[in-house]
């Protein structure tokens, strides 16, 4: 019985070895596959904007421009500011390939001095999250 098992095992080894042979490039992603994959892409005009001096207690609205450079509709699902002093506004409709869009952040300049405020923009791209930031100085009137 043991001789039969050993013989069976010895005859199966070459089959397992040959099963590992094949074209090593067979599973690689080709450049042409990447170009035909339908996906949106974001290109920011400016993701960091220095707005300079801002008058105290006067809200200021900053415009962040973006473009869909991909080949599928871009969807902005969420814009989350990092504090309650910033209010976002953005388009809720899909941004088609080649089209531009705008995200507005309104900052309530209630505290005097330097500031850096931003928001996380969630989209259907890879990566899905993008940071936009505004900096400046709130000055007394």
Domain positions in the chain: 37-139
Q: What is the pTM of this model?
A: 0.73
Mean pLDDT to the nearest integer, 37-56: 95
Mean pLDDT to the nearest integer, 10-19: 62
Report the b/e string of 84-107 with b at 16+ CB within 10 A.
eebebebeeeebeeeeebebebeb
Mean pLDDT to the nearest integer, 79-83: 96
DSSP 18-66: HHT-S-TTTTSPPHHHHHHS----EEES-SEEEEEEEETT--EEEEEEE
- The CATH label, of 2.60.40.10, 1.10.10.350, 3.40.50.300, 2.115.10.20, for the domain at 37-139 is 2.60.40.10
How far is the CA of 105 from the CAs of 6, 29, 39, 120, 133, in angstroms? 74, 39, 26, 11, 9
Residue 105 has pLDDT above 80, yes or no: yes
pLDDT grade, residue 116 (50/70/90)? very high
């Amino acid at each position: 019985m043991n001789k039969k098992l050993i013989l069976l095992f010895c005859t199966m080894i070459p089959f397992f070895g040959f099963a590992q042979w094949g074209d090593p490039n067979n599973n690689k992603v080709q450049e042409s596959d990447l170009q035909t994959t339908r996906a949106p892409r974001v290109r920011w005009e400016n993701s960091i904007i220095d707005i300079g001096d801002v008058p105290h207690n006067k809200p200021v609205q900053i415009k962040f421009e973006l473009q869909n450079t991909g080949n599928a509709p871009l969807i902005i699902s969420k814009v989350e500011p990092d504090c309650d002093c910033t209010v976002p506004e953005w388009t809720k409709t899909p941004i088609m390939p080649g089209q531009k869009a705008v995200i507005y952040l309104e900052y309530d300049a209630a505290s005097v001095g330097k500031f850096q405020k931003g928001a996380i923009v969630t989209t259907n791209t890879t990566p899905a999250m993008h940071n936009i930031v505004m900096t400046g100085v709130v000055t007394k009137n």
